[in-house]
Structures are given as structure tokens and as C-alpha cells.
């Protein structure tokens, strides 16, 4: 049985945020001891540019001959700025200075920022279901994260500055989701992604070049190489592709609220690694998060049934 586009979009969003959730722990493995954050960001951009240009070249699509119209380049540059350069630089620099769990707490503010931006730019309507869903998701995520201790706290040299960077990163990603939606609806997914990452690469290059050169390549063991490989392939390429495909089908506010699932996966990763344990608070919080996702993503359906 073939899945509908809506169901497929939700599955892809769940997978993307699973990868993001695991990334909070994995990204702390190579940095800053073996490679500093801006160097890692540059490697991510290079990997994504290579991935999307090759994929766009070989993929068979009726829209493959599309070209970016001159009037859309300004919006595309903004997408590269907010979705790639600012987003990734602040995330990895903030994660270096802060704790993985603290970072995931701050990132739960993204759906709120997305909805606020969407209300003004995309003219999305705030319904009671969306408002309640956002509230439940935020409360559940905060309760889940704040209920446990983090063993990574000793690796956080400046949590306050790091959390500020993560918060600005969340705002940047919210802007990216909203301003890129029209471009994603208009252009082929691969065409959009290859150009937005290419633009982001040139913006990141001056900041990350020296850190790539200075990385301790000869001292990296298998664990370090595997963690970098995970970051470059799964976090850098697949998550952006999954999100882009989903934006073709779902409202930007629905895409944004899936970030509430990241703390769940972040804590589960800590449990698997023996860094945390499961309790009632975590179970209840997880339920609240997914109820929030359901309410926001099914607003139209619930309204139809009510009438």
C-alpha cells in the first residue's frame, strides 16, 4: 500500500528530528578537541553541496531544466543566510559552549518563532488547536529536559553564551522555514537545496577555513571518524532533504513543531549511552509532546469534523 504524501511528510519529519536528537550527543564527540565548530560547519556545507549537486544531476525529474528566476535570488540568498550560515554557525558554536540537553531545551522555542513569523509573513491563522498544541509541546519538552541531570555539564565552558547562540539559531531557522516555503513550492527540491547550500558555503568559508586546516586529522580514531561521518551524511544532507520535501506538503508551523520530538530522542540517546534513565516524568512529557504535534498538524481535520 502506497503511503499518502501527507503521511510520508510526517514520517520524514520524524526521521529528520530523530537524527537531530542524536546529533546533540554525537556532535560533542569530535569538537572542540579534534576539530573546532566552525570547521565542522564548513565540512557540513561542503558535504551537502556535493550531495545535492550530484543528486540533482542524476535524478530524473520533469522539472530538472528549471532555472532560478532573477526575482527569486534575493529570497534564496536570505534562505542561505538564515537556514545555513547563521543557523549552523550559531548551533555548533553554541553546542560547544553549552550542554547538549540545554541546547535541546532552547531549540523547543523554534515552533513558537515559526508560528509568529508565519502569522506575519505567510498569513497563517492561529487557531485554538494550534495554540493548545504549541503550549502542550513546550510544557512537555521543558518538563522532560529539566527533570534530569546532564553529565555533559563539565564540557560546557560558557553555558549562558552558548544558550544565547542556540536561541538565536532557533530564530534563524524559524525565519528560514517561512521564507523558503514559497521557493520550495515553486522549484524542484534538489534545485533549491543545491543552491541554498552553495550560497551558505560561500558565507561560511571565511569563518571555517582555518579551523579545517588546523584540525587534528592524524590523531582521529574510528569513533571520531564515525561521528564526523554521521554529521556530514545524516545531519548535513538527509535532514535538510527530508525537511524540504515535507515543506512541499505541510504548513511551516507544522514542520516547526516537530522540533519538540528532538528532546525525546536526545534523552533516549543518553539512556542508550548510560547517561540517563527513564521515569514517569519522561513518559508523560513525551506524550504531551506528541499530543501537541497531533493538535497542530490536524487543525483542519478537527475543524471539519466539528462542523
Does a cis peptide bond (omega within 30 degrees of 0) precede residue 32? Answer: yes
- CB contact at 8 A, 215 and 208: no
More confident: 1 or 291: 291
pLDDT digits (tens, 9 = 90+) for 224-263: 999 999 999 999 888 878 887 887 788 866 776 787 788 8
More confident: 204 or 296: 204
Nearest-angstrom CA–CA distance, 64 and 28: 38
Q: What is the mean pLDDT of the chain?
A: 80
pTM of the model: 0.78
Percent of the chain's residues with pLDDT above 70: 77
| Mean pLDDT score, 283-290 | 71
pLDDT of residue 300: 47
pLDDT of residue 197: 93
- CB contact at 8 A, 215 and 39: yes
More confident: 54 or 257: 54
> Which residues contact residue 278 at a Cβ distance below 8 angstroms, ignoring those fewer than 6 apart?
271
- Which stretch of 105-114, 138-147, 192-201 has the lowest confidence by average pLDDT? 138-147
pLDDT of residue 306: 33
What 3-state class would DSSP assign to 250?
coil
Residue 139 CB: number of other CB atoms within 10 A?
15
Percent of the chain's residues with pLDDT above 90: 30
What 3-state class would DSSP assign to 278?
coil
Predicted confidence band of residue 89 (pLDDT cuts 50, 70, 90): very high
Predicted confidence band of residue 301 (pLDDT cuts 50, 70, 90): very low
CA-based R_g, the chain, Å: 19
More confident: 14 or 166: 14
Nearest-angstrom CA–CA distance, 149 and 11: 30
pLDDT digits (tens, 9 = 90+) for 201-227: 999 999 999 999 999 999 999 999 999
Nearest-angstrom CA–CA distance, 29 and 43: 15
Which grid cell sits at 134?
A: 504549541
pLDDT digits (tens, 9 = 90+) for 149-199: 444 455 567 777 787 788 788 878 888 888 888 888 888 878 888 999 999
Predicted confidence band of residue 100 (pLDDT cuts 50, 70, 90): confident
86-97 helix and 100-107 helix, angle to the nearest 10 degrees: 140
Which grid cell sits at 152?
A: 555533559
CA 174 to each of CA 148, 171, 180: distance values in angstroms, whole numbers, following the listed order: 27, 5, 10
More confident: 232 or 132: 232
pLDDT of residue 18: 92
Amino acid at each position: 500500500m502506497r503511503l499518502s504524501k501527507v503521511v510520508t511528510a510526517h514520517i520524514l519529519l520524524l526521521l529528520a528530528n530523530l537524527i537531530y536528537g542524536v546529533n546533540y550527543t554525537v556532535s560533542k564527540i569530535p569538537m572542540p578537541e579534534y576539530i573546532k565548530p566552525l570547521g565542522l560547519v564548513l565540512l557540513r556545507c561542503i558535504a551537502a553541496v556535493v550531495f545535492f549537486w550530484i543528486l540533482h544531476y542524476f535524478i530524473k525529474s520533469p522539472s530538472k531544466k528549471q532555472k532560478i528566476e532573477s526575482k527569486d535570488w534575493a529570497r534564496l540568498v536570505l534562505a542561505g543566510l538564515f537556514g545555513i550560515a547563521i543557523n549552523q554557525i550559531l548551533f555548533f558554536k553554541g553546542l560547544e559552549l553549552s550542554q547538549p540537553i540545554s541546547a535541546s531545551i532552547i531549540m523547543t522555542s523554534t515552533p513558537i518563532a515559526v508560528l509568529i513569523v508565519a502569522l506575519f509573513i505567510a498569513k497563517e491563522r492561529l487557531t485554538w488547536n494550534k495554540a493548545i498544541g504549541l503550549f502542550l509541546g513546550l510544557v512537555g519538552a521543558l518538563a522532560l529536559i529539566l527533570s534530569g541531570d546532564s553529565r555533559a555539564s563539565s564540557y560546557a565552558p560558557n553555558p549562558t553564551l552558548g544558550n544565547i547562540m542556540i536561541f538565536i539559531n532557533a530564530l534563524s531557522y524559524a525565519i528560514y522555514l517561512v521564507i523558503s516555503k514559497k521557493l520550495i513550492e515553486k522549484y524542484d527540491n534538489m534545485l533549491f537545496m543545491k543552491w541554498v547550500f552553495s550560497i551558505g558555503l560561500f558565507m561560511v568559508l571565511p569563518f571555517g577555513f582555518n579551523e579545517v586546516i588546523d584540525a587534528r586529522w592524524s590523531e582521529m580514531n574510528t569513533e571520531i571518524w564515525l561521528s564526523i561521518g554521521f554529521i556530514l551524511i545524516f545531519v548535513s544532507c538527509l535532514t535538510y532533504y527530508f525537511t524540504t520535501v515535507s515543506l512541499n506538503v505541510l504548513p511551516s508551523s507544522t514542520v516547526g513543531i516537530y522540533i519538540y520530538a528532538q528532546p525525546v530522542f536526545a534523552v533516549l540517546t543518553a539512556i542508550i549511552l548510560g547517561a540517563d534513565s527513564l521515569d514517569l516524568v519522561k513518559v508523560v512529557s513525551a506524550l504531551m509532546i506528541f499530543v501537541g504535534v497531533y493538535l497542530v498538524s490536524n487543525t483542519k481535520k478537527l475543524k471539519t469534523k466539528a462542523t
